[in-house]
Amino acid sequence: MANYLKDFLFFLGVFIIIFIIDYFFINKKKLKRINNAGQTKKGKAKKIKPIGELDYLTTKFKLDPKKLNKNKVIFWISLINSFIISFTSSFIILIKLKLVWQLLIAFVMLFALIYALYELYGRHLKKLERKNRKSE
């Protein structure tokens, strides 16, 4: 019983740390730069790196980026990223195999979780967009 609690607390700790770093220090700053892109003091346009996950979702599911609530989408993207990283790391630590096999399993799990969770979230956003279009 104590091992399960220890493993769950490790998962929860990694999840919270990754979420805070991803949401507040990476995605929020990028979103702020994107929103303030045209506001420069010297009139020079800055080259801004887009949020890759947001671009992926809008292009794959043909979403209208203007109608998306970007703060909410960024929050969910950070939750998904945190879950993927923490679940994979927690699961791999529990497996008692050689390091090469652990890395191989982790690599496959990462791609599978990324594809599955972003596919689900993209379909959810598409459904919300259709629902909002009908209500207008």
pLDDT value at position 46? 64
pTM value surpassing 0.75: yes
Those residues of the chain that have pLDDT short of 50 are: none
pLDDT value at position 45? 60
CB atoms within 10 A of CB 128: 14
Report the chain's mean pLDDT, rounded to a whole number.
89
pLDDT value at position 102? 96
Residues 78 and 65: their CA atoms lie apart, in Å, by 18
Length of the chain: 136
pLDDT value at position 44? 62
pLDDT value at position 109? 97
